[in-house]
């Protein structure tokens, strides 16, 4: 199994895609262990053959269709209306807008791009610094994978055999904790020195009423999907299909902002993103089989022996490791790679796999705002034409708030487990 680890590390360092690194490492491990290569294709297909995985393209398509239909702008307008009366209202609107938009996007990078486009001009025009604006948007985009529906939660649910609906519900309160932590930093900024500027709102009675009506049609969707999935009316995967149908209804019939060309573009985008997810999962299963045959069970037993009677210490060590891994790997591939290692340890230590899943997703997501990966930072920095180094420097208070929120979620399991239990 040593050759597999060496090839995996060298391939990653060379800049090759994660799927190639996983596949080549699995191939090398099979050769080293003498596993017949004729089973290679079957192992790869087995990694992708899951009904749960159909949820990923459905939610990706629904999110893209809603964005193209103008839903994003309506949600941001609602957030701006709610926060327009307080100092720093536009900054609060970024966090609230991210909270609302995350309910249809499920991806941090998508949140960063959309929020950067919508607030990248508005906030500097009101008097916010461009670095501060970019730092806030990048930080708020971390809500994407934590607030349901989340593509990463679908992947974790498959890998760890945890119900996806439980993960969706389990991410709600941790997401709110993160949003409140970011708002606390904004509140501190608004009362220090000259404070943050007041929002420049041009909304009037009729526009507010229309905005509330339009967004109500959107906000009813996740409520209906969750209630339907909990009641057993449809599965989480089927709920994704319902979301797509509803997005088409909004775009073509109610808002009339979609056309066939944009619909086709959404299908192409969804196909590309889904293919990248599926090939990573297929390649990871090749390596997972090698790890299982190559002595992973013995390694896990040794690790468990170190943490018997101290699950909290294990959680702390795991979070630190996940934060380090997040510096180099995106959350999706990291989950695919690490869940087979962590899950047996979590089970033997008596840690709730739902709680650990939320903590794992949260910790890995932090890597999206830290170099060298830091995709959300780079996306926002490019949109606002600010050097990424200056954005990262301006993120310090927000980053500390994110770490505090992560610590709270780690130390209070009920934040992840209470809602799934209460609603069933």
- Distance (Å, whole) CA 118 – CA 120: 6
pLDDT tens track for 352-363:
999 999 999 999
Q: How high is the pLDDT of residue 338?
A: 86
Tens-digit pLDDT string for the chain (424 aa)? 667 778 877 887 787 787 888 888 888 888 887 877 777 788 888 878 877 888 888 888 888 888 888 887 788 888 878 887 788 888 999 999 888 888 777 778 888 888 888 888 888 888 888 999 999 999 999 998 999 888 899 999 988 999 999 999 999 999 999 999 999 999 988 887 556 887 765 554 446 677 777 778 787 877 888 888 887 888 888 888 888 998 899 889 888 889 999 999 999 988 988 888 888 888 888 877 777 777 665 666 677 677 777 889 899 989 998 998 888 778 888 898 888 888 888 988 889 999 999 999 999 999 889 877 688 888 899 889 888 888 888 999 999 999 999 999 999 999 999 999 888 6
The structure tokens 């896990």 sit at 300
Output the pTM of the full model: 0.86
Task: Evaluate whether 419 touches 169 at the Cβ level (below 8 Å).
Answer: yes
d(Cα 382, Cα 393) in Å, to the nearest integer? 16
CB atoms within 10 A of CB 385: 9
| Contact criterion met (CB below 8 Å) for 367 and 323 | yes
- C-alpha angle 176-182-187 in degrees, rounded to nearest 5: 120
**206-249, pLDDT tens digit by residue?**
466 777 777 787 878 778 888 888 878 888 888 888 889 988 99
**Cα→Cα distances 379→4, 108, 371, Å:** 33, 11, 13
pLDDT of residue 204: 45
Residue with tokens 């929002």: 199
Cβ atoms of 319 and 346 within 8 Å: the answer is no
d(CA 386, CA 397): 18
The whole-number pLDDT of residue 301 equals 63
What DSSP designation does 45 have?
A: H
DSSP assignment string, 308-366: TT-HHHHHHHHHHHHHHHTTTS-HHHHHHHHHHHHHHHHHHTT--HHHHHHHHHHHHHH
Give residue limits of the domains in the chain: 36-422
**pLDDT digit string, tens, across residues 147-196:** 988 889 999 998 899 999 999 999 999 999 999 999 999 998 888 755 68
């Amino acid at each position: 199994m040593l050759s597999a680890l060496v090839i995996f590390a060298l391939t990653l360092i060379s800049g090759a895609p994660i799927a190639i690194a996983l596949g080549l490492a699995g191939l090398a491990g099979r050769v080293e262990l003498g596993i017949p290569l004729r089973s290679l294709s079957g192992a790869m297909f087995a990694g992708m053959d899951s009904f749960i995985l159909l949820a990923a393209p459905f939610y990706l398509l629904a999110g893209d269709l809603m964005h193209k239909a103008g839903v994003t702008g309506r949600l941001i307008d609602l957030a701006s209306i709610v926060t327009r009366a307080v100092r720093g209202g536009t900054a609060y609107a970024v966090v609230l807008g991210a909270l609302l938009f995350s309910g249809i996007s499920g991806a941090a990078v998508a949140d960063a791009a959309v929020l950067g486009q919508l607030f990248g001009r508005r906030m500097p025009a009101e008097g916010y610094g461009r670095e501060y604006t970019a730092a806030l948007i990048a930080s708020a985009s971390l809500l994407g994978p934590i607030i349901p529906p989340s593509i990463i939660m679908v992947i974790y649910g498959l890998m760890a055999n945890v119900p996806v609906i439980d993960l969706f519900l389990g991410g709600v309160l941790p997401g709110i904790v993160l949003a409140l932590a970011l708002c606390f930093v904004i509140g501190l900024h608004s009362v220090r020195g000259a404070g943050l500027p007041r929002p420049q709102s041009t909304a009037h009675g009729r526009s507010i009423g229309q905005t509330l009506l339009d967004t109500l049609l959107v906000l009813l969707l996740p409520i209906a999907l969750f209630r339907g999935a909990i009641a057993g009316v449809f599965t989480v995967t089927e709920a994704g299909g319902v979301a797509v149908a509803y997005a088409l209804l909004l775009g073509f019939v109610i808002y009339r902002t979609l056309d066939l060309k944009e619909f086709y573009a959404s299908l192409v985008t969804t196909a590309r993103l889904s293919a990248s997810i599926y090939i990573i999962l297929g390649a990871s299963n090749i390596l997972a089989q090698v790890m299982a045959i190559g002595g992973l069970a013995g390694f896990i037993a040794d690790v468990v022996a170190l943490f018997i009677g101290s699950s909290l210490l294990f959680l702390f060590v795991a979070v630190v490791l996940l934060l380090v891994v997040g510096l180099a790997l995106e959350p999706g591939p990291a989950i695919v790679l690490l869940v087979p290692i962590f899950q047996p340890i979590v089970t033997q230590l008596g840690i709730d796999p739902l709680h650990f899943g939320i903590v794992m997703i949260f910790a890995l997501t932090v890597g999206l705002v830290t170099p060298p990966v830091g995709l959300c930072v780079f996306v926002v920095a490019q949109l606002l034409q600010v050097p990424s180094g200056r954005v990262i420097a301006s993120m310090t208070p927000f980053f500390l708030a994110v770490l505090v929120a992560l610590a709270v979620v780690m130390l209070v399991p009920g934040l992840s487990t209470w809602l799934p239990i209460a609603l069933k």
